[in-house]
Structure 1
Amino acid sequence: MEEYPEELRTPPVALVALVGCPELHAVISTHLHSEQPPINTLALPDFSKISLISKTPKQPPHSAQSLGIFKRDWLLKHRTRVPSVVAALFTSDHVSGDPAQWLQLCTDLENLKLGNIFAELSNTYYRDEGRRIKTCLERKSISSVELSIRYCFKVAVYAEFRRDWVEALRFYEDAYYTLREMIGTSTRLPAIQRLVEIKTVAEQLHFKILTLLLHGGKVVEAITWFHQHNTSYKGLVGAPEVNFLHWEWLSRQFLVLAELLDMTSATIQSTVIATDKLSEWEFSSAYYYQLAAHYLKEKRSCFELTLSMSETASDIDGNAESVAPSVYVGQFARLLEQGDTYTMQPITDEEYVRYALAEGKRFQDSFEIIALLKKSFESYTNFKAQRMASYCEFKMAREYFSVNEFGNAKLLFDSIASLYRKEGWVTLLWEVLGYLRECSRILGSVKDFVEYSLEMAALPVSIAGVQSLSSKECGPADPASLSQREIIHKEVFELVRGESGLASNEENNSVRVTGDQPLHLEIDLVSPLRVVLLASVAFHEQIVKPGAPTLLTLSFLSQLPHTVEIDQLEIQFNQSVCNFTIVNGQRPQSAAISNVQPGHRVETAPALMLSTNKWLRLTYDIKSDQSGKLECVSGPHFTICCRAESPASMNDLPLWKFEDRVETFPTKDPGLSFSGQKATQVEEPDPLVDLQLGVSGPALVGEIFAIPITISAKGHAVHSGELKINLVDTRGGGLLSPREVEPFSTDNLHVELLGVSGLESEDDNIRKIQHSFGLISVPFLNEGDSWSCNLEIKWYRPKPVMLYVSLGYSPHSSEPNAQKVNVHKSLEIEGKTAVVFSHQYMLPFRRDPLLFSKIKPGPDSDQMASLPLNETSILIVTAKNSTEVPLQLLSMFIEVDDDDIGSLAQCNTGLRTLQTLHSSCLEKSSRRFSLSFPR
């Protein structure tokens, strides 16, 4: 659409000429531009320039000789040089008259709205011009079809000036239908140029009609009109020597519609509903961008063919220099210089063909095709149409490949191949891999070339192959077939064995796989090379004892067309001491095998041959293995690292899933194939270190309770040992971590871990101590050594707790990743109150029958005891030993807050003390008593 002039792409805007008073032109122009619709201005400084806008006298229409359909600059002239209104501006000095007339003039000027009056006068002018031309059409006084088309076009343009879209659309359609009558009947121009002119005019009329329909929200009508336009002109190819012009013209029609749909996409998405005649894709710009690229490719093919067959190809550029567009739309002429003037001379069809070929050589269609396909790809991606987007992406990649931009082509082909693998489209994947293989060869990437070649050789292609595609359609690779797979297989293995090189365009050299340039491929669980080599590992036992042997079955499967002989297999585990190597007994030992480190386990297999779709099974015993990966080595310079898979969780090969082939199991035992895992659990070795927790006596509230911990290294040395201590409520809970402990208040604590005593260097050994958790480092201990410490715990309230002590150590080394052995011990401890106090009052015996002989409040009651006034009462205080060891009572004290309340007598009787209390007044009093004793 950018090729169209601006006056065609935008709606006409009325033009007003301002004459005189140039200092006011800027203000008036700004005001008129802000009007709706806006009005353009043509400013003339004085009346001497009025001749610039005067019209030349015209001959009557019936007597005019028609040289073309309509002039190229007519629309621009009416938008920029032919005003609809001329406004003459005068100063007050130039106006004379009596005072009454002057006042009337001032009043009229005050009431005048400049924008409104200009709009009304402009509409009147364009309406009158349209009526004048319509009168000629209605009288049938036009002598040629060209004039009829021209007049319909002018009436439509004048209607657009007035914003009368309905009348404009009607006359544009009349002009379009009348133009069809010229096909095959007009002889004014030579045949080729006549068809070019008709198509150019039809293109402009079609664009105007499309724009008006979409502007009015008639999307369905616009799409239907486009299909009618396409059907009418698609078959008008023209002469074979210029048929490329037809495909270029057709491509431009689709491009223009796509751009118009993009401009009105918001309206389309909210109003369009697919109909019986139109599919959903026909409302999408992506569809038309794709077809525009398709027809532009057709134009390029025809142009290259025409250029190759042209006998005057060497003279094309020189003869086309003086040819230029003529005065009329769609016509071309030779520009001749005659003194100071230029004249237009008609040209023959032969001259026009040479001009068209010269113009075609100036443009590179491939980049325009790529731009169109990219727009289509982005639009399809926004619609989440992944398959259509990938199709456009494939076309883009082929264009990049054709212009030798192999880096960009390879990026796009890689993205496409991922989708084709997922969808299982073998034939399309074969074609894409062929392009990728060729891009890698040209770029000199040996690794990529080998990967794509191996994947192509392992694709499920039948014996007959796909005969529906020609060699040209398959790109660099020939049509997919079993024989072609075998050729690729042979070629790639000759390369990796160093028998041949890879011809590269980079610096025009040949790349080889050698010892200085080895090749290493990685095959993981999602790699497309799983079809090349599939590795399975199954331990026969899920749990084994440390040092106890267990069987390990290795299984390999390949879909390559030829048998592959492996030189060496290296099996690696997460414990390097368990790694071992399997060598091929039928092959001489290579340099890689001779460089095996001393003590490394090497096994010899009778043969390491991988046949097509046949499992290679190897079973060996292994000790202390957990999991690992398999590394397959083929030749001294070529290595394939294959991630092992478990038979029980191994996925099928997607591209081979529905092929007619024999299904086999990775292991001979079907049960192991369904349950085997590539990892086995090696149990933790039995600890040979003794952990003892000692108890020195009962835990009493208020005392510091010491618990001795002793570690004895009986059979293991202790490296990097550490003790974890946890205090847990017996009602539940687990081992706590310092990060999981929430902030606490010491008033709410029942039990607290105070610290650790008995350490040689407490700063080095104590890492972390909290109220219920501790972490202590244990020094290195040789076999037979021991180490001890004391835990200090304090109870604030009676409560039973569980003490958990865990010892973790490494029996062999102090490395951070060394295997740890753990010893766990637990102990339940109940903190008790040493002495429990109780008391009671004894009232005078039968002195007052209304009082009880004993007054004993409830256990949790705050109610004070009531005693008789001026009487002697007996207070009995009892101290009870609640521990499991004897306690010696040293003393007991009873105090009264206020001595004026009553008198107190004291009597010590060993473990039992009787005291009398004489109350002198009926008041509440609180008493304290305490007792002390040695342990």
Structure 2
Amino acid sequence: MEDLPEELRTPPVALAALVGMPELHPQISMSLHTEQPPINTLALPDFSKVAVIGGKEGAPLEARIPAPAGVLKADWMHKHRTKVPAVLAVLFDREQVNGDPAQWMEVCSHLDNVRNVIRGRNTKLVVAIVQPTLHGEINDDRTAALRKRAELDNKCCMTFISHDPTELKRSLARLGSILGELANLYYKEQSRRVKARLDKKNWTATEIAVRFNFKMGYYAEFRRDWVTALRFYETAYTLLLEVFSNPAETQSIQRVVELKAVAEQLHFKVSTLLLHSGKEVEAVKWFKHHIASFKKLSGPPEGIFMHWAWVGQQHHVFGDLLKTGRSTAPTSTAVLAGSGVTERELQPGFYYQIAASYMAGRRRTFERAFATFESFDNPDAVDVLAGPPEEVGPPLYVGQGPRVLSRMSEEQSATPDEYMRHAMLTERQFPHSRAAINLLTKAHEQYKATQATRMIYYLGTQMGREYFHAGEHENAKRLFDTVAEMYRKEAWVELLAASLEYLRETAKHLGLSKEFLEYSLELAALPEESWSEVARRSTALTDVIAAITGTDALPDGEAPIALEIDLVSPLRGVLSVCVAFHEQAVKPGMSTRLTVSLLTHLPHPLELGDLEIHFNQNACNLALKHSLDQGCDLKLMPHQWKRLEVDIIAVKSGKLECLFAVARLGRNTTVRCQVESPASREPDPFWQFEPALESYPVKDKNLAFLGQKVVQVEEVEPKVDIEIDSGGTGLLGETVLVRIHIRSRGHAIDAGELQVSVTEVASNDAFSPKTPSTGSSAACAKIFVPARLKDGSGETLLWEFQGSMKIPYVEADGSWSTSTYSLEPTTTLISCGVINTSTYNARRL
């Protein structure tokens, strides 16, 4: 709306001119600005400047009005707001009025000159005699002579006190009241003069009736008569529609542009008055009527972009009007019922969004028109309408193009070719995408206030497109990433596909190979029947898949692409891996069956070079390679589960869990996919309702509902039993006999060692069967074993024992025993363990 002239955007204010006593003009002007309604002033420094407000007398009422060269004068509103005063206040000093004959004659001369100047425009006149205070007399005879000479009423010839503050305030108030009254009278008389001409109907062109009704509406605005102004503006608009008697395609482009510019000004006035009077529904209905009346009047095909520019401008301006003129209270449902107007049509953001759409259409049509223009235009031709001000003048009528001043007055208008060339070259400099982004930003602010979340994301999509066309790929990618996340959550297939198309292109322009591949694969894995232009997308995605599954080596310095797919990744449709153990528990070293199910929703078969299955126990990891000869087929058909069964041998006890699978595509791309359990697998929101889709990863229904990716590996059964028998409790400092019995269970013990340790325990845990931790503090007790002396005497002594004790060979299911002695200075617990070279497990007691 800021592009419209101020005289159209703001209501007109009465204009009063001041002449004489220039030192008082600032005070009077400031006082007049505070009047209700305010009055603008045109201060003339001396009487020699009075001629600037003069004008010629109008033609006689009976005179025939010829067909005009346009509808509305381009500077008519500006002239009546700033150059044509409704009333003129002449200020004379009392000393001049009471002075000698020479001074008196000068006053009379100035007054006569003023009257001659304003006679043609019927401007009202006020004479003020200025004196410093109330003290002092004014010559009554000369005052009467002034009134008679100027043909004024008594109230129009006043005394103005300039130096007494109280009297000055009263003088200013009185002067403002008189000027306001006379200005209102002036605009009423101007309306009557125009109405008389309108009633005469002494013309043949309908454009004259449009002009007269517009003038009467504008004069009514000067008087603050909004109802009358609205009525005449509506009449002018109706008459303007009659001007389009011929199809717009048969009229010149200049003519179509001019009439639509006049319609825009009339529509703006009508809409403003309706909104400021609280008639929002009527304003919306008027706007819809306005668009319906002119939307199809596009003019010649080469200028279609100017038509869409005009339509977009109408929506933009009306959105601004709604934003500034709509009341804060929401329109009730009862008012909207039956009116044909929805609540959405009362939101400014709705019109900003449509204006942005037309801006995009304007850009597209201009690009096509400019391509044709460049093909046929003379490259040596000059844009004659782009010259300096001394060569190119402003238009005389609203909506017309500039004038070539070097030509004769009748031929100053540009030819159709010159006009079209100027329009093309001017439009080429217009920032279409930036203008559309600004409109979408304004719409976003409006919808954000109403918390319209989905509309906000839709606006983000449109902004991303404009950033893309403007070459700002980083901003475009940022917006499309945001809206794509929302479309994924709500499974909007077609909208997500459109966003992914732009994300692919932005990633390509930014050189993001991995992101380009991810967006391409995600796009390929969407349901095809929801796409538009399926063939074009399928071809593009076939090229991408061919590239990632190719066998060419990577260029130097370029790293392989590694894709990550977790349970919430948008790439789940590209590859899903589901595993299920056939058993819930397994013995260590025993084999268990594992079903690996693979699924892809890509539109073409996907062949995996190899597949690695990773577990939390690295020893169980396995790798499968695509080989039909060996019966390992890793070629995945679209929308069909590929089931593979493998045997897994668990080595360690505890939990064995399948973590992820790594699939290799060609030489340059790997996909690391987190595996799922059939029992807890969530369906893909884009494919869960698609027909003819096999939904169970495994054929066994029990595994389909109960299968898990985790299996419990039981503890290894001990191969050796150790029993410790102390004959009872012992006193502190007493030596106690401890017998140790070792029994083999199904396996022989060869070159075994017995390790005995003593650990101090708390008194309340002295007889606890629990094995003490290795971190317990060392006991003070000592262990002794019997040993024969080497001197051959056969005497046996107790030797202090530390470390390991050798165990002789024990047959399968055989046993061996030994005795030790413990000197217990405190409460202790003795534990034993067998260290066997055959790696048999032992039980600790």
- Common topology (TM > 0.5): yes
Tell me whether 1:312 sits opposite 2:355 in the alignment: no
Give the letter aligned to residue 614 of structure 1: W
Change (3 A) 1:206 1:372: same
* Secondary structure in structure 1 of the residue aligned to 2:386: coil
Q: Distance in 2 between matches of 1:637 and 1:196?
A: 59
Structure 2 CA distance, aligned partners of 1:786 and 1:235? 113
Letter in 1 for 2:643: L
Q: Which residue of 1 aligns with 2:279?
A: 218
Contact 1:557 1:616 in 2 (8 A): no
Matches within 5 A, 1:77-476: 77-91=79-93, 93-94=95-96, 96=98, 111-112=170-171, 113-114=173-174, 115-141=176-202, 144-184=205-245, 191-267=252-328, 269-270=330-331, 273-276=335-338, 277-310=340-373, 311-315=376-380, 317-322=382-387, 324-337=393-406, 345-461=412-528, 469=532, 474=533
Unaligned runs of 5+ in 2: 99-133, 141-157, 732-760, 781-802, 806-819, 828-832, 834-845
Structure 1 counterpart of 2:674, one-letter code: R
The whole-number CA distance in structure 1 between the counterparts of 2:247 and 2:184 is 36
Query: What SS does structure 2 have at the residue aligned with 1:535?
Result: strand
Tell me the distance in 2 between the aligned counterparts of 1:562 and 1:50.
90
- Residue in 2 that maps onto 1:652: 683
> Is contact 2:548–2:668 with CA below 8 Å preserved after alignment?
no
- The one-letter code of the counterpart of 1:131 is R
More strand per residue: 1 or 2?
1
Among candidates 526, 531, 549, match of residue 573 of structure 2: 531
Q: Contact conserved, 1:496 with 1:513, CA < 8 A, in 2? A: no
Q: Which residue of 2 aligns with 1:625?
A: 655
Report the secondary structure of 1:17's partner residue.
Answer: strand
Structure 1 Cα separation of the partners of residues 219 and 201 of structure 2: 20
**CA distance in structure 2 between the partners assigned to 1:366 and 1:425 by the alignment:** 26
Shift of 1:82: 1.9
Pick the aligned partner of 1:499 from 546, 552, 559: 552
Q: Distance in 2 between matches of 1:670 and 1:643?
A: 23
CA–CA distance in 2 between the matches of 1:454 and 1:787?
74
1:314 aligned counterpart, secondary structure: coil
Code of the residue aligned with 2:469 in structure 1: it is S
| Structure 1, 666-675 or 343-352: larger mean CA deviation | 343-352
Give the distance between the partners of 1:144 and 1:643, measured in 2 at CA. 79
Match of 1:586 among 627, 648, 668: 627
On the 8 A contact 1:290/1:392 being kept in 2, the answer is yes
Distance 2:555 2:611 in 1: 18
Structure 2 residue aligned with 1:9: 9
CA shift in 2, pair 1:782/1:360, >3 Å: farther
Structure 1 pair 496–356 and aligned structure 2 pair: CA distance change class (3 A): same
Question: What code does the residue aligned with 2:396 have?
Answer: V
The equivalent of 1:519 in structure 2 is 561
Residue-by-residue CA offset, 1:455-478 (whole Å, 9 max, x unaligned): 23333326xx96xx5xxxx4xx74
Equivalences, count: 682
1:555 to 588, 594, 597: 597
Which amino acid is 1:517 matched to? A
Q: Structure 1: how far apart are the matches of 2:182 and 2:403? A: 42
Q: Which sits farther off after the overlay, 198-207 or 147-156?
A: 147-156
Contact 1:631–1:641 under 8 Å retained in 2: yes
State how far apart, in whole Å, the 2-side matches of 1:140 and 1:205 are: 21
The answer for the alignment partner of 1:488 in structure 2 is 541
- Cα pair distance change 1:243/1:782, threshold 3 Å: farther
Residues 1:329 and 1:577: Cα distance change in structure 2 (over 3 Å)? closer
* Aligned mates of 2:716, 2:26 — CA distance in 1: 97
Which amino acid counterpart does residue 17 of structure 1 have in structure 2? A
Counterpart of 1:57 in structure 2 is: 57
Cα 1:185–1:570 change in 2 (3 A) is closer
Q: What letter matches 2:367 in structure 1?
A: E
Closer, same or farther: CA 707–190 of 1 in aligned 2, 3 Å: closer
C-alpha deviation, 1:7, in angstroms: 0.9
Map 1:716-727 → 2, pairs under 5 A: 718=773
Which residue type is aligned with residue 74 of structure 2? R
Task: Please state how far the C-alpha of 1:210 moved relative to its aligned partner.
Answer: 1.0
Work out the CA distance in 2 between the residues paired with 1:299 and 1:585.
55
Is the alpha carbon distance of 1:678 and 1:95 closer, same or farther for their aligned partners in structure 2, counting shifts above 3 Å? Answer: farther
Q: Tell me by how many angstroms 1:58 deviates.
A: 3.5
Contact 1:453 1:489 in 2 (8 A): no
> In 2, distance between residues paired with 1:165 and 1:52?
30
Q: Structure 1's 709 and 220: CA in aligned 2 closer, same or farther, altered over 3 A?
A: same
The alpha-carbon deviation at position 441 of structure 1 amounts to 2.6
Aligned counterparts of 1:291 and 1:654: Cα–Cα separation in 2: 32
Cα RMSD (Å): 4.6
- Taking the TM superposition and a 5 Å limit, the aligned residue runs for 1:659-674 are 659-674=690-705
Cα 1:366–1:670 shift into 2, 3 Å: same
SS of the counterpart of 1:72?
coil
Deviation at 1:9, TM superposition (A): 0.8
Change (3 A) 1:609 1:14: same
C-alpha distance 721-32 of structure 1, shift in aligned 2 (>3 A): farther
Deviation at 1:345, TM superposition (A): 1.6
Identify, as 1 or 2, the structure richer in helix: 2
Give a deviation string over 1:421-466, Cα, whole Å, max 9, x none.
344444444443333223323322111122122223333326xx96
Per-residue CA deviations over 1:92-135 (Å, capped at 9, x if unaligned) read 54565996769995798775424444333322222222223223
In the alignment, residue 225 of structure 1 is paired with which amino acid?
W
Q: Which amino acid aligns with 1:400?
A: Y
TM-score, normalisation: structure 1: 0.64
| Structure 1 residues 609 and 616: CA distance shift in structure 2, 3 A | farther
The offset of 1:329, in angstroms, is 1.5
Q: In structure 2, what residue type is equivalent to 1:397?
A: G
Contact 2:615 2:660 in 1 (8 A): yes
Change in CA separation of 1:648 and 1:148 when aligned onto 2, cut-off 3 Å:
same
Structure 1 residues 285 and 110, CA, compared in 2 at 3 Å: closer, same or farther? closer
Q: Aligned partners of 2:558 and 2:247: how far apart in 1?
A: 76
Following superposition, the deviation at residue 648 of structure 1 comes to 1.8
Please report how far the alpha carbon of residue 209 of structure 1 lies from its aligned counterpart in structure 2 after TM superposition: 0.8
Aligned mates of 2:263, 2:475 — CA distance in 1: 39
Q: 1:633 to 1:41 in 2, by over 3 A?
A: same
Change in Cα spacing, 1:372 to 1:70, as seen in structure 2 (3 Å) is same
TM-score in terms of structure 2 length: 0.70
Cα contact 1:567–1:587 (8 A) shared by 2? no
1:569 aligns with one of 612, 623, 639: 612
Indicate how the Cα distance of structure 1 residues 567 and 195 shifts in structure 2: closer, same or farther if over 3 A, else same.
closer
Asked if 1 retains the 8 angstrom alpha-carbon contact of 2:589 and 2:649, the reply is no
Contact 1:710 1:786 in 2 (8 A): no
CA contact (8 A) 2:404 2:414 kept: no
Give the counterpart letter for 1:632 in structure 2.
Answer: V
Distance 1:110 1:525, change over 3 A: closer
Q: Which has the higher contact order (CA 8 A, sep 6+)?
A: 2
Structure 1: runs of 5 or more not aligned: 501-511, 589-603, 697-705, 723-757, 759-780, 791-810, 812-935
State the 1:172 CA deviation. Answer: 0.9
Structure 1 CA distance, aligned partners of 2:230 and 2:448? 35
- Tell me if structure 1 keeps the 8 A contact 2:588–2:649: no
Identity %: 40
Counterpart position of 2:153: none
> 1:567 Cα deviation (Å)?
1.4
